[in-house]
Chain A
Amino acid sequence: MATILERRELTPVTKLFVVRAPLVARNARPGQFVIVRVDEHGERVPISLTDFDPEAGTVTLVVQEVGKTSGLICRLEEGEEMLDLAGPLGQPAPLPDTGHAVLVGGGFGAGAVHPIARELRRRGVRVTSIVGARTAELLILRELLEPESDEYLPCTDDGSLGFKGFTAQLLGQMLDEGAGFTVCYAIGPMAMMRAVAETTRPYRVKTLVSLDPIMLDGTGMCGACRVSIGGETKFACVDGPFFEAHAVDFDQAVVRSKMYVDEERLAVELAAAGR
């Protein structure tokens, strides 16, 4: 069981949790995730590590409510427990020791890029962070990511803060203008990661995306999380979650992520009706 030490409301649908998990914090690396289960009837859902502190024995999770389980997590309070929390899972993001990295974050990804930024800077890599949201109030975790970035560039769809438009559009503009990015990391909604992949492709910038297929065990035992990378099937939970964006079969990933839409809708409806 993992006790929630701190809970913060980042947006009406996005919550941040600092959770006690000393063993996970001890060996966690940037880019890894955990599997959380809320209660005895709960699903196992993967959540990225937005931060981890081995000394304090804590990990930080940012959860965006998109369905039943994420909703249940978001409603947990300080002092309550997450029944199960297992990790760190997945391969750490492969990180260079030199160059100029551009990090693109949307949704919960605005937090999940944070440990990558921190480690890259520690290694002496220059970091540009591009973070997107619909509007200024929904832009999250600036206070966490900005200090770990050499350059922090917010984007909003409505132009209420920073660049007006999508993150991939700003990225494209910067690449056009000759930004010398040597590597790109993108974490966020599939559509955003796909747009980033298409944007960097002509510039041949090495691009890594954190794929978020449906998972079950998260330990390589089931294959629910399989993704096609360059025509080869990989298990995202053990081979990923980071993959070379230009080799990802996004069409398949999108289709597979919709496997349980009917069931997901039913679960939300029943939950709303107070089942």
Chain B
Amino acid sequence: MPIVYPTKIEMPALDPVERRETWDEVAVGYTVERALAEARRCVQCQDPVCEQGCPVGVPIRAFVRRVALGDFEGAAALIRTKNVLPAICGRVCPVEHQCEARCSVRGRFDPVGVGRLERFVADWERANRANGGAPAVAPRPEKIAIVGSGPAGLTAASDLVQLGYQVTVYEALHAIGGVLRYGIPEFRLPKAIVDEDVERLRALGVDFETNVIIGKTVTIDELLGDLGYAAVFVGTGAGSPKFMNVPGENLKGVYSANEYLTRVNLMRAYSFPEYDTPVKRPTRAAVIGAGDTAMDAARVSIRLGAKETHVVYRRTQAEMGARAEDFKRCGEEGAIFDWLTAPVRFLGDDNGCVRAMECIRMELGEPDESGRRRPVPVEGSEFTMEANLVVIALGTNPNPLIPLTTEGLETNAHGCVVVDPETGRTSREGVYAGGDIATGAATVILAMGAGRRAATAIDEYVRSRAAAAA
């Protein structure tokens, strides 16, 4: 067995103080030398358990070996067999719960930096323009509609176009990418990367129609009827923000994370007035919640100039949903974490702007349905925290528009479209769904996996119908 370096090769990153002034990507990425060194930490296990941790089954052992040998093009080709958006996944996958969680060197040492290596390979591929077009396939006459352009929709589109179908992606917003575009900030996922992936799909023949709200502009029934689509994939995500229903929530300066991040990322409000959409610039910001969204909102606040940024969460660090890396970076940039704390109401000034929140301390009681210990308010522990900008990042629900406008499309108690997890098949013939619309808010890679499985199932469905008709 080769000697394993105990710790992951460091990923260069911008200086935490410098970061407060810039929207540039924080993690700079491996150099070739660092990538080679990190890849050599992989012991090439007989049984690569890491691969079981990857929701799309990236051939990790094989690609890491290619990297160690300096064959980056070969590594890229291997990753691409399972993952069409590696530059994105390599940046945003919660690796500590997925591939790296299973890595066999973990425990004794740091796990192999699979995510970082995947990112390195994808970036190398982009820089060197390897692996240009996909192999030509015989075109098929059938049209397939994809609803929503998040990772689920983009993956389904990519697979289906490469099977020869005529693929149209319908997106409600004016830009493609879903959460990758409007949610995850530039400093974590540069939009140029999303743009390049979209351009690649366009080059493969995918047609993108923005500003089309399926259920309003056109219904699913019209897609399957008049408009002549053979099947529809619904990847509309879980975009409807949850509020707390506490007093003062509609004060000016209280945002949902979706609004705050959309203003900043999609509309580029950080460049107001060069861009026309404004956003409030905080001096003291408070973000409620502790998932990826909350970390992003806190880090955005810091970059918008907040002198003090608090992340307020009713449970503890152990229960938080954020990726380990982003939590660390958020702390480095100066956010203050207030665990076991929950707001009870928001207080406003004479102009109706939020100026503070009344909070209460919590303690952890018995486990609840989620298996996590339930936070219980500590009586008499109320206190006031000043904040002139509050972001509510407590998660999102599936948007009800498609279920409401599509007869016979079954949903569950949470409003998720009910699907067969293996195929994405819904209760409506010819309609498939996957990603956050089916699971509730989850992850990029899970959405991609669902898009891929649905594409396979759609192909089978369309072929069997064609065969039956012949």
Contact = CB atoms under 8 A, between A and B. Distances in A.
Does A pair with B? Answer: yes
Interface of A: 23-24, 26-27, 37, 41-44, 68-69, 83-89, 216-217, 219-224, 226, 228, 233, 238, 252, 255-256, 258-260, 263-264, 266-267, 270, 275
B263 A216 contact: yes
Interface in B246-293: 249-250, 252-253, 255-256, 258-259, 262-263, 267-268, 272-278, 280
Q: Is the interface of B mostly helix, strand, loop or mixed?
A: loop
23 contacts: A37-B174, A43-B267, A44-B174, A86-B212, A88-B216, A216-B259, A216-B262, A217-B262, A219-B239, A219-B401, A220-B239, A221-B399, A222-B259, A223-B241, A223-B256, A223-B258, A226-B250, A252-B250, A256-B252, A256-B352, A263-B278, A267-B273, A267-B276
Interface of B: 172-174, 210-213, 216-219, 239-241, 243, 245, 249-250, 252-253, 255-256, 258-259, 262-263, 267-268, 272-278, 280, 351-352, 399-401
The 8 closest A-B pairs by CB, nearest first: A263-B278, A255-B352, A86-B211, A222-B259, A221-B239, A84-B174, A223-B256, A43-B276
A270 B250 contact: no
Contacts of B399: 219-221
Given A216-B259, A217-B262, A238-B401, A23 B218 contact: yes
A255 B255 CA distance: 15
B216 A256 contact: no
A258 to B, nearest CB: 8
Contact of A223 (B173, B243, B245, B253): B243
A233 B262 CA distance: 21
Contacts of B268: 41
A41 B174 CA distance: 12
Given A216-B277, A223-B256, A263-B273, 8 more contacts: A83-B174, A86-B174, A216-B263, A219-B239, A221-B241, A221-B262, A223-B255, A256-B352
A244 B273 CA distance: 36
A163 to B, nearest CB: 35
Contacts of B351: 255, 258
A267 B239 CA distance: 30
B276 A68 contact: yes
Contacts of B401: 219-220, 238
A44 B273 contact: no
Contact of B172 (A86, A88, A223, A255): A86
Contacts of A222: 241, 256, 258-259, 262
Contacts of A219: 172-173, 213, 239, 399, 401
Nearest to B275: A41
Greatest chain B CB density within 10 A among A222, A256, A275 is at A222
Given A86-B172, A223-B241, A224-B259, A24 B273 contact: no
Contact of A87 (B213, B249, B273): B213
B210 A24 contact: no
B427 to A, nearest CB: 23
B210 A84 contact: yes
A86 B212 CA distance: 6
Nearest to B171: A86
B217 A233 contact: no
B174 A266 contact: no
Nearest to B256: A223
Contacts of A275: 273
A42 B276 contact: yes
A7 to B, nearest CB: 21
Greatest chain B CB density within 10 A among A69, A85, A238 is at A238
A23 B268 CA distance: 28
Contacts of A216: 259, 262-263, 267, 277
Given A44-B267, A233-B250, A88 B239 contact: no
Contacts of B174: 37, 44, 83-84, 86
A69 B278 CA distance: 12
Contacts of A252: 250, 352
A43 B256 CA distance: 18
B466 to A, nearest CB: 28
B272 A89 contact: no
A41 B217 contact: no
A222 B258 CA distance: 5
Nearest to A83: B174
B211 A85 contact: yes
Contacts of A233: 243, 245, 249-250
Nearest to A260: B278
Contacts of B252: 255-256, 258-259
Contacts of B250: 226, 228, 233, 252, 256
Contacts of B276: 41-43, 68-69, 267
B240 A41 contact: no
A267 B216 CA distance: 32
A61 to B, nearest CB: 15
A266 B272 CA distance: 10
Contact of B259 (A42, A223, A238): A223
A226 B217 CA distance: 23
B213 A86 contact: yes
A86 B172 CA distance: 8
